[in-house]
Amino acid sequence: MPRRRRSLATSAEATSPVRGIARRRGPPEVRPRTIPRMRDEAGWLEVGDRVYTRRYRFYDQQIGVVVGDGEALVIDTRSSPGQARELIADIGRLTPFPVRQVVDTHWHYDHLFGNHDFRPATIWGHERCRSRLLENGERQRAWVAETEPALAAALESLVIDPPDRTFDPATTVEVGGRRVELAYLGRGHTDADVIVVVPDAAILFAGDLLENDAVPYFGDAYPLEWPATVGRLLDLVSGPVVPGHGSIGDRAFVERQLADFDAVAAVARRLHTGELDRAAALAAMPYDPSSSIEPLDRALAQLRGELD
């Protein structure tokens, strides 16, 4: 089950203390700004023409909205019915247009347990997003109720509602006269991650293929394939990049994440062949030692053929 290393700070359903965030080692780097100035509108950041994102403190999550003529599309629906209703209210303060389409970037609960509250909107996702949620949605519900007590009561009324429009590997949807491209680029964070590209605004929503300000979650990942998948994503970057969690980035941010993913795979291979012992491998990882255990072990499992 997904385990987040992010804060559970103030939200409509959670007021638990901020938890420690596992961060990269070393002091923060000061880098020049390479993305354009963005306009804040009622808590929504306009990252491109009528393309918005809102950064929720719960799991430090980015939720996207694309507004077209007379309708809107939402990217991910959050972790519970209550959080979905909070999102719907926030969208109502942004635009009077109805949400007619939703995109689930992957099958983890924090991205789609709010789906049902957006019906009758069409919900898009990769074909494995649907099958995985049908397979393990109830297990995810039980796990979240046990590990996140602030959500337990809200999840009692949850209707697990998978995408009804699926695709592989790519499709295009129209949102009020605007083209929005959805694409599966390969396994990475999960086996069903999709990105959302808004070509006329040069914006890319990466889902959890990219996470900023904390170590990405590797619990359901394919670390040996993740670098190639992000490499394909990098080829599509022409402006701001919105990760699933954390602050908005740019091409340099994607390049840094790609370098980290390359390093994870390379270190795991060296440990697997006996070139490194475990202590040396953990020391060579791009993350702090405690945060490196999960990605290293997941990569080793893939090298042993246990994930296929």
- What are the phi and psi torsion angles at 20 (to 5°)? -65, 140
Within a domain: 126: yes
Coil, helix or strand for 116?
helix
Within a domain: 85: yes
Within a domain: 224: yes
Within a domain: 20: no
Rounded to an integer, what distance in angstroms lies between the CA atom of residue 188 and that of residue 118?
27
Task: Taking residues 247-267, report their average pLDDT.
Answer: 98
pLDDT band per the 50, 70, 90 thresholds, residue 290? very high
At 166-193, the pLDDT tens digits run: 999 999 999 999 999 999 999 999 999 9
Residue 89 has pLDDT above 50, yes or no: yes
Q: How many domains is the chain partitioned into structurally?
A: 1
Which one, of 40, 121, 127, lies nearest residue 77 by Cα?
121
Q: Among 20-24, 194-198, 271-275, 283-287, where is mean pLDDT lowest? A: 20-24
Within a domain: 13: no
Within a domain: 1: no
pTM, two decimal places: 0.89
User: What domain range is 296 assigned to?
Assistant: 39-303
Largest Cα span, the chain: 60
Provide the pLDDT for residue 241.
98
Contacts of residue 94, Cβ cutoff 8 Å, sequence gap at least 6: 41, 42, 44, 52, 65, 67
Residue 34 has pLDDT above 80, yes or no: no
Within a domain: 103: yes
Within a domain: 23: no
- The CATH number of whichever domain residue 109 belongs to comes to 3.60.15.10
How many residues are given for the chain? 308
